[in-house]
Chains A and B, each alone.
Chain A
Amino acid sequence: MKLTKTEKIWITVVAIFYILYNIPGIPPYGEAIPTFIHAALTVLPLWIAVYIGLSRVYKIYKLRDDADEETASEKKEG
């Protein structure tokens, strides 16, 4: 199963933000303001990256309108 370039970029960007969010030591324990800044710089972009990537991937993987019709082989079986 091959991935498109967009899918590879999508998964990489999301993984980067997820890793950035989870770097130990940041923000320091007991510090409220750095906690807000850290969330704004990691979790917020993570959400944005997920949804932008989702819409781009959906544009590449267009759904077929006739997908739910029986395929030729199914008709033969039937």
Chain B
Amino acid sequence: MLSASTIWIAFGVYMVFLLGVAVFVTQKEKRQKVGGSLLTASVPWPVLVMTYIASLMSTWVFFAGPGAYYRGGLGYWISELSYIALFPIIAHFTMNKVWIVNKQRKGAFTTPADFYYDRFKSPVLRTILGIIFLAASFPYISSVLVAIAQAAQYATDGAINYRMAVIVVGLIMTVFVCIGGVKSAAMADTVQGLLFILMLWVIVIACLIVGFGGSLNLALDNLWEHTQSFFSYPGPSGWTPYAGRFGYPFSCAIGWTIMLPHVFVRSGYFGDNLKAQRKLSFLTPVLQAVVWTGTMMIGLIGLALVNNLAASESELIIPYMIKNFVLNFNPVLAKVLMVGFFVGASAVGLSTANAFLSVSSAIVSSDLIKNTFHINVPKSKETLVNRIIIAVLGLGSLLLAIDPPDLIFTLIMFSIAIVMPLFPILVAGLYWKKATKQAAIVSAIVGTVLVLLTYFVWNIGGTWYGAIGMLGSTITMVVVSLFTKQPESDAAPFYEALESGMKRYYVVKDKKSAKAAAKAGE
């Protein structure tokens, strides 16, 4: 539908924007003489919120998402709303406390494992966690490149070669993160995030106008008449049974929005103050609901227009509708929407890939090179070494994407599942002084093994994801902690930092403390 040159020009313009942001951020830091690493950031709330949302959106919003609603129906959307709402409560009880400890450590944490080490003082645990978090990152970066290259191929009816697209996009991604680091990625997310949320809704409205004269009621009536299963569980393709309605959203609540390393550092380390953390908690569910509802609407309109697409075709429902419906209605609008779809999918995908690339580089440089192999890199050469690591990881992901394994998209959900068992260790570390490093190590291993069994032996990964692994790691954490001991002095500095941080940032005004204060006054 589009010529190869149109796609390359659109992509080129977008890449110039990205590199412009990278150069701008780097120059600004030089002017302000702000030192700092490529791999850490402290950002105000608008940047924090948008970089977090953009990291969550990934290629899911333009690709897998509409297809998932097409197959899973309204029940799938309701199940997602059930987890989206949980973010403020999980963030309050965990990530805001992680943020406080990091602030008390003067922002020294770069990887998720840094936080765990601060609490448990175990180099072995740090190495295990580093490997798990790194394993969760690689498939994600590659899958984004695969999705963008497939979009380019589909949008141009094969005029753009898949491999060429992977190479170009992969190289640009690597260069962007090498130059600008994590701050540029966050800044680019802010500028483009709102734009592509808008683009998503433009596509929704355009498809509704073309398909049903702009009437949502007409689309709903059509669905009610022909595919009533859309409105109930388990959905048109049986995608949302009772178990799936729990397993998938629960995995998203823990794995997708908290524990994946790129969102862990954003929700736990990046806010420049606690007000920013609170804005993140407050706004994330609202923005996520706006985006996810737009994605659901595309699935809904697509199903109302054509209800017999194969699973692989339904993943590309946006370009399918543009090609088969919008093109006949208005060719210019179709071209504009197709370019918007391609650039939007690339942008939100690259946001996630950039975020993963920067955090996985931090994992390699901090958790593995510095703290596992004890190789000391001189301060003056840190940035250069980080850039080399980013380049190696970026090129590695590119090579994986050129000839991806069949399981590449299954591995994305596997990434979410594999980090879930680490959540109970985080909670125990924050709230239970008797939790030991031995328990944390065994718990991480048992949880990971259970997730591997869930996927590759029991073959129930598509329903339960990391839930069984998380249950196993929770039980292990409690039982092993009760049977092992760790000197209290190991965890004492952590709790001192947490308690003094709580006093530093909060004035607690509950009835109990008011009574205690009144008593003390008497």
Listed in ascending order, the chain A residues whose CB lies under 8 Å from chain B are: 1, 4-7, 10-11, 14, 18, 21-22, 24-25, 27, 29-32, 34-36, 39, 42-43, 46-47, 50-51, 53-54, 57-64, 67-68, 71
Contacts and interface: CB of A to CB of B under 8 A. Distances in A.
A40 to B, nearest CB: 10
A25 to B, nearest CB: 7
Given A29-B233, A43-B78, A62 B509 contact: yes
Contacts of B498: 1
B48 to A, nearest CB: 16
B268 to A, nearest CB: 16
A35 B74 contact: yes
Interface in B211-228: 224, 228
A50 B85 contact: yes
A16 B231 CA distance: 25
B89 A47 contact: no
B85 A46 contact: yes
Contacts of B232: 27, 29-32, 34-35
A54 B282 contact: yes
A43 B84 CA distance: 10
Contacts of B329: none
Given A30-B229, A35-B74, A46 B274 contact: no
Contacts of B507: 61-64
Contacts of B431: 1
A63 B509 CA distance: 11
A71 B103 CA distance: 12
A61 B274 CA distance: 11
B508 A60 contact: yes
Contact of A14 (B89, B278, B505, B506): B89
B74 A47 contact: no
A5 B75 contact: no
A57 B509 contact: no
Given A10-B89, A14-B89, A27-B232, A60 B509 contact: yes
Contacts of A60: 508-510
Interface residues of B, number: 46
A67 B100 CA distance: 11
Nearest to A1: B431
B97 interface: yes
A76 B163 CA distance: 58
Contacts of B510: 4-6, 60
A43 B499 CA distance: 35
Contact of B81 (A27, A43, A53): A43
B506 A62 contact: yes
B92 A57 contact: yes
Given A32-B228, A62-B507, 20 more contacts: A1-B97, A1-B498, A14-B86, A21-B82, A29-B232, A34-B232, A35-B74, A36-B231, A43-B78, A46-B82, A47-B85, A54-B92, A58-B278, A59-B509, A63-B506, A63-B507, A64-B504, A64-B506, A67-B274, A71-B504
B102 interface: no
B43 to A, nearest CB: 15
A44 B212 CA distance: 29
Interface in B196-246: 224, 228-229, 231-234, 241-243, 245-246
A18 B88 contact: no
27 contacts: A1-B498, A1-B499, A5-B511, A5-B512, A7-B92, A18-B82, A22-B245, A24-B242, A25-B242, A27-B232, A29-B233, A29-B234, A34-B232, A39-B81, A43-B81, A47-B81, A50-B86, A51-B88, A54-B89, A59-B509, A62-B507, A63-B278, A63-B505, A63-B507, A64-B504, A64-B505, A67-B504
Contacts of A1: 97, 430-431, 495, 498-499
A31 to B, nearest CB: 5
Contacts of B274: 63, 67
A21 to B, nearest CB: 5
Contact of B93 (A11, A36, A64): A11
A39 B273 contact: no
Nearest to B106: A74
B273 to A, nearest CB: 6
Contacts of A32: 224, 228, 231-232
A6 B89 CA distance: 12
A35 B75 contact: yes
A18 B88 CA distance: 14
B275 interface: yes
Interface string B122-133: 000000000000
A14 B75 CA distance: 20
A67 to B, nearest CB: 5
Nearest to A39: B78
Contact of B88 (A5, A6, A50, A71): A50
B436 interface: no
A22 B246 contact: yes
Nearest to B507: A62
A38 B274 CA distance: 36
B276 to A, nearest CB: 11
Interface in B300-355: none
Contacts of B505: 63-64, 67
Nearest to A44: B81
B491 to A, nearest CB: 12
